[in-house]
Structure 1
Amino acid sequence: MTDAGPQRTDEDTFIVAARAGDTAGFALLTERHRRAVQVHCYRMLANYEDAQDLTQETFLRAWNGRESFDGRAALRTWLHRIATNACLDFLDKRNHRTPVPAELPGGGSEVRYLQPYPDRMLPEDPHESAVARETIELAFIVAVQHLPPRQRAALILRDVLGWPAAATADALELTVASVTSALQRARVTMRERLPERRLDWRTPATRELSDDERATVKAWVEAHERNDLDGLLSLMREDLRFAMPPDPGVVVGGRAALDSWVEGGFGGPGYDDWRCVVATVNRMPAVVEYLRTPADPVYRLFAVDVLDIVDGRIAAITGFAAADKPWLGLPPTL
């Protein structure tokens, strides 16, 4: 993968900085790729904190191996290769970082280590941001976790980043035939795991929320703040799936999900004074929930629910405790 034109200035400058041991110059040139590298690590790992750690590991490995960069590939490509192998090393040592069977009947599997990704940390480059849209959604992130690590890497490098087979094989230290075979198997698994409406992950989506989707989110917020159980239920599909990682369990069915919330106290004393804020997380509509208890004068950050809306109704809700996730950049109180 050789790049020509003005971009080569970065590679040439990087080589000079690397050979001179110029830490400031090295940091300046690599830092502009941080967001793209971190999103790549997140796709591999489905966990924001791990992606942060592996991004740091990538830059450390890049500094220690700076003399190996010869400028034949773009600096970005070189960093993504290092990041891919750092993630593979991480996964090789952590066999538990795989989906597990859901504890409830009919729940399928669940990714308990899944964490949300803040939209504000996506790459600023318009093309990279467009590519990120479909492949940062939770459905894709969860589906790709069902792939063995090297199949996962092959799919992301080939189908998301658009690398040629030869470059992918070189990065993964495999033959082109092995990469082609791994990619074919990965695509089959992805089609089994992804909803039909999300099968074409290789076509960058550019759409914004439709008026119907905005109306659904608005109605959800209003019903939630009123503790209106019937109103919430009317917005759910019958086959809705609800999960709140890392807590175990996938609840299937709108009524079952609502019943589980009520059993947990929703709408009862201490859990009946809510304010909600609309946001986007993982390029998906999200509702940030703030709770005020009788002894507290302010509403405090409680949770964020990421919504998958299909034909005006909610098909899936993935909830995350929000107070322990400062990287989301949410105000702690209202």
Structure 2
Amino acid sequence: MSEVSPERAPEPDDLALARGGDGAAFTRLLAPLRRELHAHCYRMLGSVHDADDALQEALLRAWRGIDRFEGRSSLRGWLYTVATRTCLDAVERRGRRALPVDLGPAAERVVLDGRPDTETAWLGPYPTPGDPAERYERDEAVELAFVAALQQLPGNQRAALLLFDVLGFSAAEIADLMDTTPGSVNSALARARRRLSSEEPEFEQRRTLRALGDARVRETVTAYRRALERGDADALVALLTEDVTWSMPPLPHWYRGRAAVMEFAVAVPLTRCPSWRTLPVVANSQPAVAFYLGSSADAVHTAWSITVLELADDGRIAGLVSFLGAEHFAAFGLPEQWS
């Protein structure tokens, strides 16, 4: 799952200028690495908001310490050191994030008026803008199941796994980065891999999407959007696998199996929600849909959820995670209202 990217060596003049206090030169040095550093912070913390804060703090620390960067390691490696340590500090302060499926069994009946769980720190979606076909091909290691599984690991195991398996650092480099020994890194790696293997999460959505092809993925997404917009239960059920799951953080309850999911869908989004408008987006390098809810077809529609889809090998929907709340829309470049 490696996403190692070649690092272009910084211009000597920019590095010297940055060490001398030139903020513009420092910005130029960071530009090629900002996106991957942000993705690393998201994988560590499970939240775009937390990743924004961590990256901002990390870059401030890096700016304050750039005069001490001697070039014995790569600039990329040094920045990952600063970002990882910043994220580990955040993990200590804020704990881990979760999805409803991590916290309890599926609901046995439809919960019509469930209250949001405001005590749990919920995982959030990650915007991966650009052409969908391009995004499904590119390995950014931000698949929802993978990031959710990472959140169950202690911070040091999370960091070691990401730095070694995703980013391609050696155990010796990670030991230096985390101020520990290679033996401790290898031990953390082994424990992290055993934990993830025992939970058997699905990390291969990217392969499924690539095998299906963009046209087939788009067909499923369009059919799903149209079924919700028309309130068409028959069209929706035809899109679902037998063991489909649907969760809606921050609501704690979730549903498993086509019958349970359809019972919920008929009771709530297909009948109790007067009008939907939808837009296809890409979240966590997976197909997703932005939903806007209105009181009628000609009313102003308000941001409701970003729903991330997991597709099965036959193109049907195997999982839906609807991240409820207008606060998720800004990261996707979407407005909170659609008039």
| TM-based fold match above 0.5 | yes
Normalization by structure 2: what TM-score? 0.82
1:161-172 pair list within 5 angstroms: 161-172=167-178
What's 1:244 paired with? Answer: 248
Q: Residues 295, 242 of structure 1: CA spacing in aligned structure 2 closer, same or farther, 3 A cutoff?
A: closer
What's 2:112 paired with? Answer: none
What's 1:226 paired with? Answer: 230
What's 1:275 paired with? Answer: 277
Q: Residues 13, 192 of structure 1: CA spacing in aligned structure 2 closer, same or farther, 3 A cutoff?
A: farther
In the TM superposition, residue 150 of structure 1 has moved relative to its aligned partner by 0.5
In the TM superposition, residue 295 of structure 1 has moved relative to its aligned partner by 9.1
Q: CA separation in 2, counterparts of 1:153 and 1:6? A: 21
1:333 aligned partner, one-letter code: W
Q: CA separation in 2, counterparts of 1:94 and 1:140? A: 20
Alignment match of 1:333 (pick from 316, 322, 338): 338
Question: Percent of aligned pairs with the same residue?
Answer: 38
Q: CA separation in 1, counterparts of 2:241 and 2:261? A: 11
Equivalent residues of 1:241, 1:250 under 8 A apart: yes
Q: Residues 72, 261 of structure 1: CA spacing in aligned structure 2 closer, same or farther, 3 A cutoff?
A: same
**In the TM superposition, what whole-angstrom CA distance separates every residue of 1:212-254 from its partner, at most 9, and x where no partner exists?**
3332222212211111122212211222121122221232222
Q: Residues 295, 118 of structure 1: CA spacing in aligned structure 2 closer, same or farther, 3 A cutoff?
A: closer
Q: CA separation in 2, counterparts of 1:167 and 1:276? A: 46
**In the TM superposition, what whole-angstrom CA distance separates every residue of 1:179-231 from its partner, at most 9, and x where no partner exists?**
111112212222233445629x9x9x966744433322222122111111222
1:8 correspondence with 2:9: yes
In the TM superposition, residue 272 of structure 1 has moved relative to its aligned partner by 2.8
Q: CA separation in 1, counterparts of 2:261 and 2:310? A: 15
Q: Look up the SS of the partner of 1:136 in the other structure.
A: coil
Q: Look up the SS of the partner of 2:139 in the other structure.
A: helix
What's 2:309 paired with? Answer: 307
Q: Give unmatched runs, 5+ long, in structure 2.
A: 1-5, 109-119
1:30 aligned partner, one-letter code: L
1:136-285 pair list within 5 angstroms: 136-195=142-201, 198=204, 209-263=213-267, 265-268=268-271, 271-285=273-287
Q: CA separation in 1, counterparts of 2:197 and 2:107? A: 19
In the TM superposition, residue 103 of structure 1 has moved relative to its aligned partner by 3.9
Q: Look up the SS of the partner of 2:125 in the other structure.
A: coil
Alignment match of 2:138 (pick from 130, 147, 171): 130
Equivalent residues of 2:58, 2:83 under 8 A apart: yes
In the TM superposition, residue 112 of structure 1 has moved relative to its aligned partner by 4.8
2:8 aligned partner, one-letter code: Q
Q: Residues 138, 9 of structure 1: CA spacing in aligned structure 2 closer, same or farther, 3 A cutoff?
A: closer
Alignment match of 1:113 (pick from 111, 114, 122): 122
Q: Residues 167, 252 of structure 1: CA spacing in aligned structure 2 closer, same or farther, 3 A cutoff?
A: same
**In the TM superposition, what whole-angstrom CA distance separates every residue of 1:272-294 from its partner, at most 9, and x where no partner exists?**
32232222111111122222213
Q: CA separation in 1, counterparts of 2:149 and 2:96? A: 16
Q: CA separation in 1, counterparts of 2:172 and 2:270? A: 57
Equivalent residues of 2:54, 2:87 under 8 A apart: yes
Q: Residues 26, 211 of structure 1: CA spacing in aligned structure 2 closer, same or farther, 3 A cutoff?
A: closer
Q: CA separation in 2, counterparts of 1:68 and 1:206? A: 44
Q: Residues 98, 14 of structure 1: CA spacing in aligned structure 2 closer, same or farther, 3 A cutoff?
A: farther
Equivalent residues of 2:292, 2:304 under 8 A apart: yes
Q: CA separation in 1, counterparts of 2:299 and 2:106? A: 41
Q: Residues 7, 222 of structure 1: CA spacing in aligned structure 2 closer, same or farther, 3 A cutoff?
A: closer
What's 2:73 paired with? Answer: 73
Q: CA separation in 2, counterparts of 1:106 and 1:250? A: 6
Q: CA separation in 2, counterparts of 1:193 and 1:40? A: 22
Q: CA separation in 2, counterparts of 1:120 and 1:232? A: 26
In the TM superposition, residue 301 of structure 1 has moved relative to its aligned partner by 2.8
In the TM superposition, residue 268 of structure 1 has moved relative to its aligned partner by 3.0
**In the TM superposition, what whole-angstrom CA distance separates every residue of 1:11-35 from its partner, at most 9, and x where no partner exists?**
x334412331222222222233221
Equivalent residues of 1:112, 1:245 under 8 A apart: no
Q: Residues 121, 88 of structure 1: CA spacing in aligned structure 2 closer, same or farther, 3 A cutoff?
A: farther
Question: Relative CO higher for 1 or 2, CA cutoff 8 Å, sep ≥ 6?
Answer: 2
Q: Residues 112, 254 of structure 1: CA spacing in aligned structure 2 closer, same or farther, 3 A cutoff?
A: farther
